[in-house]
């Protein structure tokens, strides 16, 4: 049932091109440049958005926060569900609460949804599991259609959730008039390319390269992950994946935060994984990389294909296919998943049965 793979997690990593196709299919219309999500919410009826989720879904939500604010210019706040439900949040009928969940059963997220509804918010679920508890309680569901995810460490649900968020942000931006048609079309095309680009991220040469890097650093006791802008959540997600399946301590920061404290940790024993793909802030990210190297930290850089210029600042490079910056978190996440799974493999861990974790957390 693992389709020839050693683990469900590996199988699901390789299913991503398909999962993404299913997330996007029928929803992007190249001819008109429109996105059709089949949701009944009036995109002009709310003044703010609250995103609520846990774990990996929360990091997908962070990408969503960035995309929605950029493209639709609506104020967005984001909470981990276990905090939201107890923090007496400011909610009104003008609020759209978006719950994100692979399983649709996570109790913290479900209770947070109930809290938002109690105060009159409109609610939307970005959910994978059909007919799950959350889908029965939200006003509307944007299914991600990633297919069943069995691996405890979420992979394909993450990339599909981020893609669903991108479509939602496009839809909101176009409907609210904040996103010009030409830019909308450009992003729509970029989204459509995602399945192919993820497939390209999984070629044997790329896999061998990540395996080699994983073997080189598998004995490290700590890792730091850095990213900026729309890819700061990619760093958080990378650290979470590594912790969950390899039990190596990992922390993630928005790269600009490093100088405010975490830089004190850096020495020759600290591998630092940096998302440094093409972006408006690439130069700033590279100067963060130089700060790491000046302190003898080992740099594993995620770079855009062909960027040999910045490769000289890194000890090791994971090249990823070129994408539009706004959709790059999907492609970059795959590199993070591969690094984590190959480090865990190297350490002989059973990635489908990470200690202390369950697939759906239905207790508080």
Active site residues: 359
Q: Cα angle vertex 221, ends 53, 249, to 5°? A: 15
Q: Is 244 in the site for ligand M6R (CB under 6 A)?
A: yes
Q: Which residue in 22, 23, 95, 102 binds ligand M6R (CB under 6 A)? A: 102
Q: Which DSSP helix (H) or strand (E) runs through 302? A: strand 298-304
C-beta of 65 vs 244, nearer to ligand M6R: 244
Q: Looking at residue 151, what DSSP letter applies?
A: S
C-beta of 248 vs 276, nearer to ligand M6R: 248
- In angstroms, the CA 237 to CA 137 distance is 28
3-class DSSP state for residue 351?
coil
The footprint of ligand M6R on residues 44-63 (CB under 6 A) is 54-57
Q: Is 163 in the site for ligand M6R (CB under 6 A)?
A: no
Task: State in angstroms the smallest separation of the CB of 56 from ligand M6R.
Answer: 3
Q: Which residue in 23, 50, 82, 106 binds ligand M6R (CB under 6 A)? A: 106
3-class DSSP state for residue 252?
strand
Reference 329, options 64, 29, 39; nearest CA is: 64
Q: Is 23 in the site for ligand M6R (CB under 6 A)?
A: no
Q: Is 152 in the site for ligand M6R (CB under 6 A)?
A: yes
Q: Is 153 in the site for ligand M6R (CB under 6 A)?
A: yes
3-class DSSP state for residue 205?
helix
Give the Å distances, CA to CA, from 266 to 214, 223, 263, 304: 19, 10, 5, 25
**Residue in the shown chain whose Cβ atom is closest to ligand M6R:** 55
C-beta of 190 vs 250, nearer to ligand M6R: 250
Tokens 């049965």 map to which residue?
A: 353
The footprint of ligand M6R on residues 108-127 (CB under 6 A) is 109
The footprint of ligand M6R on residues 343-362 (CB under 6 A) is 357, 360-361
- In angstroms, the CA 190 to CA 26 distance is 15
Task: State in angstroms the smallest separation of the CB of 77 from ligand M6R.
Answer: 19
- Judged by CB under 6 A, the stretch of 16-24, 97-105, 192-200, 312-320 that binds ligand M6R is 97-105
Give the Å distances, CA to CA, from 143 to 39, 103, 130: 10, 11, 8
CA atoms within 13 A on the CB side of 305: 11
Q: How many residues bind ligand M6R (CB under 6 A)?
A: 16
Rule CB under 6 A: which residues touch ligand M6R? 54-57, 101-103, 106, 109, 152-154, 244, 357, 360-361
């Amino acid at each position: 049932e693992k389709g020839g793979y050693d683990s469900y997690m590996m199988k699901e990593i390789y299913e991503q091109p398909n999962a993404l196709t299913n997330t996007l299919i029928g929803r992007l219309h190249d001819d008109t440049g429109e996105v059709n999500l089949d949701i009944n919410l009036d995109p002009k009826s709310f003044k703010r958005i609250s995103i609520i989720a846990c774990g990996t879904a929360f990091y997908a939500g962070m990408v969503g926060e960035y995309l929605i604010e950029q493209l639709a210019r609506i104020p967005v706040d984001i909470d981990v569900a276990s905090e939201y439900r107890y923090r007496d949040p400011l909610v009104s009928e003008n609020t759209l609460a978006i719950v994100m969940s692979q399983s649709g059963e996570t109790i913290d997220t479900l209770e947070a949804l109930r809290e938002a509804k109690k105060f009159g918010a409109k609610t939307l679920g970005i959910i994978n599991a059909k007919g799950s508890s959350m889908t029965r309680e939200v006003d509307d569901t944007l299914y991600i259609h990633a297919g069943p995810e069995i691996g405890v460490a979420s992979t394909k649900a993450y990339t599909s959730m981020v893609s669903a968020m991108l479509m939602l942000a496009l839809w909101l931006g176009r409907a609210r008039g904040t996103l010009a048609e030409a830019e909308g079309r450009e992003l729509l095309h970029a989204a459509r390319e995602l399945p192919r680009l993820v497939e390209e991220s999984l070629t044997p040469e790329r896999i061998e390269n990540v395996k080699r890097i994983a073997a080189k650093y598998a004995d490290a006791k700590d890792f730091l992950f850095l990213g900026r802008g729309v890819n700061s959540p990619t760093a958080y997600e990378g650290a979470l994946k590594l912790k969950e399946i390899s039990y190596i301590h990992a922390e993630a920061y928005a790269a600009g935060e490093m100088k405010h404290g975490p830089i004190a940790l850096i020495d020759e024993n600290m591998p630092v994984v940096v998302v440094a793909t093409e972006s408006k802030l690439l130069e700033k990210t590279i100067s963060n990389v130089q700060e790491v190297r000046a302190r003898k930290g080992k740099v594993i850089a995620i770079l855009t294909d062909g960027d040999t210029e910045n490769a000289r600042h890194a000890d090791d490079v994971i090249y990823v296919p070129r994408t539009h910056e706004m959709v790059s978190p999907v492609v970059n996440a795959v590199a993070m998943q591969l690094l984590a799974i190959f480090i865990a493999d190297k350490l002989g861990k059973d990635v489908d049965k990470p200690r202390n974790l369950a697939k759906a957390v239905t207790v508080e």
